[in-house]
Every structure is written in structure tokens, then in C-alpha cells.
Amino acid sequence: MRPFHIIRRTFLLLVLFTAAAPAGAWFAEPGYVPMRRDLPNGIDLMESSLYWMQDLSGVEDPRDPASVISLMEDQAARFFDFSYIAYLVGGPAYTRLDALQRSHFQNRVRDRLFTWLAHQMGLYGRRIPRMVPIVPYRTSLYTWVAGGNFYYPGGPSIRLRFHFYYSGRGWRIYDVTSNGVSVVRYLRDYYSRELSGRRTRLER
């Protein structure tokens, strides 16, 4: 299976999950933001994108890191709450940044997360794994988990799980785990030296 098929199947599952979200749900975020009833249907959001992804075979090198990351940013970013993820990664240091600095840090977190995710999905390797979706399951009243298992020919398997919560902007991913390892924890460790009192490095 080619890389764009892996990405397409994975995020099509996310589309189907978001489209099936209960219309009356809401999530108690800080400030108790009520649900917007005009949230667009997830399938409508991704319909044109899926057709575009089918054409990715025309890319000269579909395993080129820049092409893969660009694809993920174009097709998958809308499902992630990068502001919340950046807060979970940065903690108190993140809250002290101004709007521009937060945006810059969010972009760094996004790029690092998508690079990590592409490796977990086997998009850079010579052997593209087989992906088998799991049935989404609820972990609390307003949190769900969706994803799939990636099986490498003659090799290991990876259990990739996308953790959703319901926000005022609809269902969003706030963490991803690979065989139980959290990307938020990975990113927190990755930036730990920056976040241990050296705020100037975080602001770069």
C-alpha cells in the first residue's frame, strides 16, 4: 500500500468518527464554551481533500519528508487542537508567551508531531505497513479513541491511537499514542531543556 493510501485510510476513519459525533454533546472546557450547532459535517470538510489525496501518486517522491509533512498539514491539521497540545507540552511556560510566540511554538509542535506520526505510520520506510482500523471507543463522557494497527511484513506492529475530546470547535485530537507511548509526553521530553526555566529559547 502506497503512503498516500495509508494517510487517506487513516484520516478517512477520523472523518467518519467526527461525522458520527453526537449533535447534542458539549465539553466543559475552561470557560464552559457551549457547542456551536453550525459545526460543518466532517465528511463535507474532507470530501474534496480525499480526491486530492488520490492524485498524490503523481508526486515525484511520495516518501519525501517534505511532501509527506505537507500532505499531513493540508489534510490532517484540522483534526488537531494544536493550541491545547502546545499547552500540554509547554505547561506554565507556554501560558507566559504572547499570541505571536504561542503561534510560533504551536507550529514547532505541529511539525514535530507530524514528523513523529509519519514515522509511526511507516511512510518513510521501504516497506509500507498494512493498516487495520479499530472500532472507536469511549474513554469518558466527552472523550473517544480512534485509530488502527499497523502491521509491517515480517516485522513489528504499531498500535496507533488518536485521542479525541469535544471542544467548542467540535471533536479535536489532543494526544496520539503509539503502543501506549504518548506523543505529548514525547514532545514534553523533547522540549524539556527549553522549558526548564529558559523561556528565551522557547520564544525563538
Cell 474532507, residue?
46
Backbone angles phi, psi at 107, to 5 degrees: -65, -40
**Cα–Cα distance between 78 and 157 in angstroms, integer?**
27
Give the amino acid at 19: A
Strands (E), 91-142: 130-133, 137-140
Strand partners of residue 167: 170
The structural domains of the chain, ordered by start, are 3-202 (3.10.450.710)
**Cα–Cα distance between 148 and 85 in angstroms, integer?**
21
Per DSSP bridges, beta strands 137-140 and 170-178 are unpaired
Q: What is the largest CA-CA distance in the chain?
A: 50
pLDDT tens string 29-75: 333 333 333 333 433 333 333 333 333 333 444 556 677 777 777 77
pLDDT tens string 165-188: 888 888 888 999 999 999 999 999
pLDDT tens string 99-150: 998 999 999 999 999 888 877 776 666 666 777 777 788 888 888 888 888 8
Strand partners of residue 171: 166
- CA pseudo-torsion sign 132, 16, 164, 72: positive
Cell 467518519, residue?
16
Q: Of the candidates 87, 44, 96, which has an alpha carbon nearest to the alpha carbon of residue 187?
A: 87
pLDDT > 80? residue 91: yes
Q: What is the pTM of this model?
A: 0.69
